[in-house]
């Protein structure tokens, strides 16, 4: 039986992905700081408890990552990194702890644990590493460049990791998502017509093939291409 390790499993997207993976017959290790919320989700959705193991994981507690990985009940076939944290750009510019936590959650924590997983030569059945990134990291924009920079760094890391693991036939995917209706974006002034549901992103994760960048949602695919091609003079006019 194949095992999926979900890091940051209490995110709205991660919980939807957990349900989909269980439905496909995978054994899931759900790792998060909020184990009680994951347990409540399992009960609320009527998921088979025997298919899901929960483990405490803090993306920013780098010193604990080695022991966490060594104590897993099984080595994963698939790894999903979905840990997230966000403060507004205005807050990030004056609140260094908030900025630093975003950096550690989205980038440093990911590098710490994913390096351990990738360099485990004993795990010969590792097939795929998936990272939940963001369109905010495609171009620097004045409204969210601190958060966006953490996602840009994460996507760049995943791109290099993909190349590094290619000889071992391990696929690395970056899910470059737009606005998601979730607890992390609750309270933000976002256009309703562009909001994606967590289940939309989860389906892209579970169905990810061999391509590196996957952008869920037709509108967001267009926005992604436009953002990549816009000259800097026009990007500067964006909010």
Query: What is the pTM assigned to this prediction?
Result: 0.94
Write down the pLDDT at residue 191: 65
Listed as ranges, residues in the chain with pLDDT below 50 are none
Q: Report the DSSP pairing between strands 3-7 and 27-32.
A: parallel
The predicted-structure confidence for 184-238, as pLDDT tens digits, reads as follows 666 666 667 678 899 999 999 999 999 999 999 989 999 899 888 888 777 677 6
The answer for residues whose C-beta is within 8 angstroms of residue 49's C-beta and 6 or more apart is: 42
Within 10 A of 43 (CB to CB), how many other CB atoms are there? 10
Check: CB of residue 203 under 8 Å from CB of residue 160.
Answer: no
SS3 call for 59: coil
SS3 call for 71: coil
3-class DSSP string for 123-167 = CCCCCEEEEEEEHHHCCCCCCCHHHHHHHHHHHHHHHHHHHHHHH
Average pLDDT, the chain: 93
- Residue 126, both tokens: 């590792």
Distance CA 13, CA 1 (A): 23
Which class is domain 3-235? alpha beta
Q: 35-45 vs 12-23: helix axis angle to the nearest 10? A: 50
């Amino acid at each position: 039986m194949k095992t999926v390790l979900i890091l940051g499993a209490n995110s709205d997207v991660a919980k939807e992905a957990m349900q989909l993976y269980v439905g496909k017959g995978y054994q899931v290790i759900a790792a998060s700081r909020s184990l009680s919320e994951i347990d409540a989700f399992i009960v609320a959705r009527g998921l088979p408890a025997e298919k899901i193991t929960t483990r405490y994981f803090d993306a920013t507690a780098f010193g604990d990552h080695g022991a966490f990985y060594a104590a897993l009940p099984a080595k994963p076939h698939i790894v999903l990194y979905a840990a997230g944290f966000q403060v507004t750009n205005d807050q990030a510019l004056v609140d260094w702890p908030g900025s630093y936590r975003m950096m550690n959650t989205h980038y440093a924590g990911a590098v710490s644990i994913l390096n351990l997983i990738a360099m485990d030569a004993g795990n010969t059945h590792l097939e795929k590493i998936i990272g939940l990134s963001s369109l905010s990291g495609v171009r620097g924009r004045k409204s969210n460049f601190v958060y966006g920079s953490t996602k840009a760094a994460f996507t760049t890391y995943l791109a290099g990791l993909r190349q590094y693991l290619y000889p071992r036939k391990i696929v690395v995917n970056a899910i470059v998502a737009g606005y998601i209706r979730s607890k992390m974006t609750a309270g933000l002034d976002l256009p309703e017509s562009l909001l994606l549901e967590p289940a939309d992103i989860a389906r892209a994760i579970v169905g990810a093939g061999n391509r590196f960048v996957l952008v869920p949602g037709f509108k967001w695919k267009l926005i992604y291409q436009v953002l990549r091609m816009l000259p800097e003079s026009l990007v500067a006019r964006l909010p």
